Chains A and B, each alone.
Chain A
Amino acid sequence: MKHLISVLVENKFGTLNRVAAMFSARGFNLESISIGETEDPEISRMTIVTRGEDRIISQVLKQLNRLVDTIKVTDLTHQPHVERELLLLSLKLSKSTQHEIFELANVFKGKVVDIKQKSITIEFVGSPDKINTAIDLFKPFGIRELARSGAVAIHRGES
């Protein structure tokens, strides 16, 4: 099954390579990986989406922990969390489709970030599932290009 893993790492040259190379060397599935600095400039947070049986996931978590540059590894999958992904979707635009595109973009709370005579770029934020649905529904209008950030995730606060 799909697992969402959050990893705090040293914000150092080569850390992303160490993590990605470990996944490929051990044959683990790596669906997406995203990384960015945290409030402490010496530490980055990585969000990793992977798939596998429990036995594999347990190895993934242990192998991540084993890397010297990882500080904390958390499997968020079964914990309360918020997960978001960013999608930039560039579509073909014509008079006949314009109206429908705007309407659908509204449904997904999309934000137009660029518009030209024959193209439009819309920004969407949501769970990866919602992003997948958006892509499916916009496909018939003609996708020029798209870019996804990969998931980022964080624990929900204590109530």
Chain B
Amino acid sequence: MHNNGEKLIGSEIFFECLRRENVEYIFGYPGGALLKVYETLHDVEDIKHILVRHEQGATHMAEGYARATGRPGVVLVTSGPGATNTVTGITNAYMDSTPLVVFTGQVPSSLIGNDAFQEADIVGITRPITKHNFLVKDVKELATTISKAFYLATNGRPGPVLVDMPKDVLNAECVFEWPESVEIRGFKPTIKCHANQVQKAAKMIAKAKRPLFYIGGGVISAEASEELRKLAIDQQIPVTMTLQGLGAFPGDHPLSMGMLGMHGTYWANQAVSNCDLLIAVGARFDDRVTGKVDTFATQAYKIHNDIDPTNVDKNIKVDLPVVGDSKDFLASLIEAMPKTKEDRSSWLSEIEAWRKQCPLDYAVEQDSLKTEFVIDEVSKQTRGHAVVVTDVGQHQMWTSQYYKFTEPRSIITSGGLGTMGFGLPSAIGAAFGVTDRPVVLFSGDGGLMMNIQELVTAVYNKLPVKIFLINNSYLGMVRQWQELFHQEKYSFTDLAASNPDFVKVAEAFGCKAMSASNPESARNAITEALAYNDGPVLVDFRVVRKDMVFPMVPAGGSISDMLLARLNPKTMV
């Protein structure tokens, strides 16, 4: 711990700033431009550095940590390749609005622009994928820049911020001054919602006959689940959630309609198409949600609350925009609602009829294993209280359908970017942040291979991550599209001949591993894995190879026209 006014070198200032920001973990990888930082780190005890095995892994771990805890994730990597390896993770965090602060080493200032060894213009490269980024040119600016970086990453709509630190700046000396407050004149997010807009929204809600909440990840990052629950139950308004919004409202409550959109539930999509009032909160009308925009919720008056004004009227024109923090919006709405209540029972029974018409279900066979069964079983055995991390693809959509998320910060998944390889490292990051709930990863075999090196990080740190490998030895989602829309040309999606034996791979990393290929062995393996807490455990679920995720809205289609089953793919409802 250093004091204001002390003379310090850049690398000491760096750790002192992280201390002031209450950073617990740094996910990092050393290198030439950071040698001084790692020299200083050698004697730092209060901030834990987690050594990853690839810088992409570091960014995903930081994201998993941030999403599980609500605190910014911190990454430290060297210049050049170290920095460029973070690009996918930073983009992922940008698309899903996760607060990250990424520190990159840079070649000495005198060499910048000279094509020096391990030089990359990472500030230039990451400009379009960060909320903001900085090149620190003078050690005197290091402390204020770091405080600004944390402020920007966590205020307003959260997002990644990058700080590039040349080697000479980290070696230079100056008097340490921690700024008491942060002032950025070009960054003044609107937190408080406009009272008139809230009043109008309350009036619309009060008189709506068929209202529907459409909830996104913004409700989770704003910590507004309690307000949502109170308002929805009090007003008897059904709630559908985006992939990132799952858990904002308890999935086992009768008003919960699960996810909407491309692989959303049939009844949620029907409700969107038939509601007279759509209340979008912390959601951004993504194309995977809306399908064809011209036919999206055409009967509804649309209210849209978002902290980022650029999200308003971007994809869908709304009737009542309310810019501001979602917690403020929902809390103000609760205050503003009139005492009289509309009877919504007929609307709720209409939805119930849709639910009965096309429920989510699957058949269990004794000698083969379905992914839906595995996820359903994990949901039951964890009673919906696990932190569930997914990779990208079919298993991710099945997770959204069959895991009953009961609390916020329970799903950590790559939504906007759809990054295969996100799952394992982000589950590791989540396990550093959360120790009182099990951390469960569902990953496909394709995605697991993309960052499998991070098994080392899980094993070395004895993290009790449950790695549930949904192994169909296919790039299943791509295969599904090939079958449905590309004349069954299964180009390069069959991995059966090339996949390794995942149990042996895990064991070679020092990870406990087992496999299961029928419902009974799967159930037992899940029980055993959930009870094992001495380190990571991998279960290789050998699932049915050619299953497809239904229901489904074909790309560009209307969400009211869902493909319900493969047997009769031409049948549209």
Q: Which residues of A contact B (CB under 8 A)?
A: 9-10, 13-14, 17-18, 21-22, 25, 55, 58-59, 62-63, 65-71
Which residues from chain A contact B67 at a C-beta distance below 8 Å? none
Given A17-B124, A18-B127, A68-B152, answer yes or no on A59-B135 (Cβ-Cβ < 8 Å).
no
Bound-state Cα–Cα, A22 to B131, Å? 12
**In the complex, which residues of chain B have a beta carbon less than 8 angstroms from the beta carbon of A9?**
186
Q: Are B186 and A70 in contact (CB under 8 A)?
A: yes
Asked whether B309 is an interface residue with its Cβ less than 8 Å from the other chain, the reply is: yes
Quick one: CB contact mask for B305-318 with A, threshold 8 Å, 1 for yes? 00011101110010
A35 and B310 CA atoms in complex are apart in Å by 24
CA distance A63 to B313 in the complex (A): 12
Query: Min CB distance, A94 to chain B, in Å?
Result: 46
Chain B residues whose CB sits within 8 angstroms of the CB of A67 once the complex forms: 186
Give Cα A25–Cα B187 distance, bound, in whole angstroms: 21
Q: Whose C-beta in chain A lies nearest to the C-beta of B156? A: A66
- Note all chain A residues with C-beta closer than 8 A to B308: 66
For the complex of A and B, list the 6 residue pairs with the smallest distance between their C-beta atoms, beginning with the closest: A68-B132, A62-B310, A71-B186, A25-B128, A68-B187, A62-B309
Residues of A within 8 A of B573 (CB): none
Q: Is the CB of B128 within 8 A of A71?
A: no
Partner of B131, one of A17, A21, A55, A68: A68
Shortest Cβ gap from B347 to chain A (Å): 32
Q: What are 6 A-B pairs with beta-carbon distances under 8 A?
A: A9-B186, A14-B123, A58-B313, A59-B310, A59-B313, A68-B152
- By a CB distance below 8 angstroms, the chain B residues around A17 are 124, 127
Q: How long is the Cα–Cα vector from A70 to B185 in the complex, in angstroms?
A: 8
Using C-beta atoms within 8 Å of the partner chain, give the interface range for chain B: 10 to 19
Q: Which of B128, B185, B310, B313 contacts A55 (CB 8 A)?
A: B313
Q: Once bound together, how far apart are the Cα atoms of A68 and B312, in whole Å?
A: 19
- In Å, the complex CA distance between A101 and B186 comes to 48
Chain B contacts for A13, CB-based, 8 A: 135
Residues of A within 8 A of B123 (CB): 14
Of A21, A59, A66, which one neighbours B128 at CB under 8 angstroms? A21
- Closest residue to A24 on the B side, CB-wise? B128
In the assembled complex, the Cα of A26 lies from the Cα of B124 at a distance in Å of 17
Question: Does chain A have a CB within 8 A of B184?
Answer: yes
- B312 to chain A minimum Cβ distance, whole angstroms, is 8
Partner of A71, one of B185, B309, B310: B185
A55 and B123 CA atoms in complex are apart in Å by 31
Chain B residues packing against A (C-beta within 8 Å): 123-124, 127-128, 131-132, 135, 152, 184-187, 308-310, 312-314, 317
- List, in ascending order, chain A residues with CB within 8 A of B135's CB: 13-14
Q: B184: which A residues are within 8 A, CB to CB?
A: 68
Q: How far is the CB of B133 from chain A (nearest CB, A)?
A: 9
- Chief secondary structure at chain A's binding surface: helix
Which one of A14, A25, A63, A69 contacts B186 once the chains associate, using CB atoms below 8 Å?
Answer: A69
C-alpha gap A65/B311 in the complex (Å): 13
| Complex Cα–Cα for A21 and B124 (A) | 10
Nearest residue in A to B314 (C-beta to C-beta)?
A59
CA distance A34 to B310 in the complex (A): 24
* Given contacts A13-B135, A17-B124, A59-B314, A68 and B186 within 8 Å (CB-CB): yes
Bound-state CA distance A100–B253 (Å) is 84
Most-contacted residue by chain A among B127, B128, B185, B186 (CB, 10 A): B186
Most buried by A among B131, B187, B308, B312: B187
- Which of A25, A55, A65 is B309 in contact with, Cβ under 8 Å? A65
When chains A and B are docked, how far (Å) is the Cα of A12 from the Cα of B513?
Answer: 54
CA distance A25 to B317 in the complex (A): 22
- Chain B residues with CB under 8 Å of A69's CB are 132, 186
User: Are A10 and B310 in touch, CB under 8 angstroms?
Assistant: no
Tell me which of B127, B152, B312 has the highest count of chain A C-beta atoms within 10 A of its own C-beta.
B127
Q: Once the chains are docked, how many angstroms separate the CA of A141 from the CA of B317?
A: 51
Assembled-state Cα–Cα distance A69/B312 (Å) = 21
A63 lies within 8 A of B310 (CB): yes
- Least CB separation from B124: chain A residue: A17
**B90 → A minimal CB distance (Å):** 15
Which residues of A have CB within 8 Å of B310? 59, 62-63, 66
* Closest CB in chain B relative to A159 CB, distance in Å: 30
Q: Collect the chain A residues with CB atoms within 8 Å of residue B132's CB.
A: 68-69
Once bound together, how far apart are the Cα atoms of A9 and B185, in whole Å? Answer: 10
| Least CB separation from A62: chain B residue | B310
Given contacts A59-B313, A68-B184, A69-B186, 5 further A-B contacts (CB under 8 A): A17-B124, A55-B313, A59-B310, A62-B310, A65-B309
Which residues of A sit under 8 angstroms from B124, Cβ to Cβ?
Answer: 14, 17
For B123, the closest partner residue in chain A by CB is A14
Residues of B within 8 A of A55 (CB): 313, 317
Residue of B187, B310, B314 with highest tally of chain A CB at under 10 A: B310
Closest to B157 in A: A66
Complexed CA–CA distance, A17 and B184 (Å): 19
- Assembly CA distance A69 to B148 (angstroms): 13
